[in-house]
Structure 1
Amino acid sequence: MKSVMDDIDNLSRLVKMLASQFGPKTEVILHDHVYHDYNNSVVAIENGHITGRKIGDGGTNLGLEVIRKNTNKQTGDSYCYFTKTKDGKVLRSSTYYFRNDNNEVIGSLCINTDISDYLNIGKSVENITMYTPDKEINEVFASSVEDLTEHFIKEAKALLNKSVEDMSKEDKIEVLTFLDKKGFFLISKSGDIACDYLKISKYTLYKYLNEIRETDEDKSYSR
């Protein structure tokens, strides 16, 4: 399979079946990462009220990281991890990544179950759901690409905790390294956003990114 769109009818039926099986507290969502940009990768969804998304919306920050590390077979599928939505819902989530023969990510199937009500019942149900705060993962369920880029920029600001005016070249490279590893530059127009934030030109941005990626390649070859 070269893309989830090659079998979209069957996969859409699978999404409907899983949502019917688990009920209205479970969102099931299918992403295509071949024919759709990341900011509109949702091609099938049921119970989108859980994260507030719909067909045509984008993926999360965690998905970007996996795609950024595309050739690393150790990154990818995640089962039974815990996240929180903007409005405070606690979700138990699992994500399966579809890959082609070259091990490239071509799509993903995500299941997000709202377990908030169960957690409020008491410790006994907490044991059943296996929810522990130290396992919580910071996943952002953005309904727009603007929400996702804003999240990454906030994380970048917290990284050094200093104003852009006080940043050295090394500081800016550290910020760009962080954003690059998070998959930030896979988002359309992310380069413009990074340039505006760091107050650098497009030429400087690409120069720094080339330095960062050449360093990463040198490290991988030395292993």
Structure 2
Amino acid sequence: MQYGLKQLEQIAHGLAMQFGSSCEVVIHDARTKGMEGTIVCIENGEISNRRVGDGPSHAVLEAIKSGDKELADRYGYLTRTKDGRVFRSSTIYIRDEDGNIHYVFCINSDITDLLNLQKAVAGITGSTGLTEGPAEKPDAERITTSVADLLDDLIAQAVALVGVPAGEMTKAQRCQAIKYLNDAGAFLISKAADKITDYFGISKFTLYSDLNSVKEKDAAL
């Protein structure tokens, strides 16, 4: 059965009504050019400070860069907002009859208060176990509100992977960072090259030269 946007909006509203104000439901249009304004429906968006017209998440970028290959739905993973709230999230890819991803349907349950309560109870009782609060969840994927935020995340991850500040990288290290960005789909983002060249302090000629070197090495493997 295929679902159109109106049907998905109805399902999103029903889920939000069922699970209450701590459950955010978001629909992204994966066909949005340049990934500007991918959110076409959102329920309880105040918990992540997002609204219709805001930008993509990591899940949307993954859907686009995958080229609609076999991309599995994800359930029950952790995400984090910019202000530190932690969600238990699920992502469902809505496809057309040819298997192309049209919409990304996301459900985010805010578990921040539960984690804090769990930690407080553990502190009182002296028990151990899964007592981490939001500050101890570094592996949680960050929820972004714009393409600028998403690109900032990807650049930070690239630099962390190399382990050297951008201004101190050798050409080989810079190419390693650019390879990560290319693999992550960063260059699908509108005007990504401008921000990347500014961040690494290089010209567009150098950026595209590095990018071509990376692609040539990948093709030779």
Give the superposition deviation at 1:28: 0.2
CA RMSD of aligned residues (A): 2.8
Residues 1:117 and 2:113 are matched in the alignment: yes
Instruction: Name the aligned partner's letter for residue 162 of structure 1.
Output: V
Q: Provide the secondary structure at the position in 2 that maps to 1:91.
A: strand
| 1:137-182 C-alpha deviation (Å, 9 max, x unpaired) | 4322222222222222222332333344432221111010111122
1:33-52 aligned within 5 A = 33-52=30-49
Structure 1 unaligned residues grouped into runs of 5+:
none
| CA 1:216–1:148: 2 relative to 1, 3 Å | same
Residue identity opposite 2:64 in structure 1: I
CA gap of 1:156–1:136, structure 2 versus 1, over 3 A, is: closer
What corresponds to 1:150 in structure 2? Answer: 152
Look up the equivalent residue of 1:181 and give its one-letter code: D
What is the identity, as a one-letter code, of the residue corresponding to 1:63?
V
2:29 pairs with 1:65: no
Distance 2:98 2:209 in 1: 29
Correspondence for 1:87 = 83
C-alpha deviations, 1:55-87, integer Å up to 9, x for none? 0001222431342223441x3310011122222
Distance change in 2, residues 1:48/1:77 (3 Å): same
- What is the TM-score with the length of structure 2 in the denominator? 0.81
Name the CA distance, whole Å, in 2 between partners of 1:136 and 1:76. 24
Contact between 2:82 and 2:144, CA under 8 Å: does it hold in 1?
Answer: no
Q: Is the Cα contact below 8 Å between 1:32 and 1:106 reproduced in 2? A: yes
AA paired with 1:77?
D
Aligned CA distance change for structure 1 residues 172 and 187 (closer, same or farther; 3 Å)? same
CA distance 1:154–1:135, shift in 2 (3 Å): closer
Q: Is the Cα contact below 8 Å between 2:118 and 2:131 reproduced in 1?
A: no
- In structure 2, what is the equivalent of residue 22 of structure 1? 19
Query: In 2, Cα distance between the equivalents of 1:121 and 1:164?
Result: 40
CA distance in 1, matches of 2:68, 2:31: 15
- The TM-score normalised by the length of structure 1 is 0.81
1:66–1:76 contact (8 Å) kept in structure 2 = no
Query: Which residue in the other structure is 1:170 paired with?
Result: 172
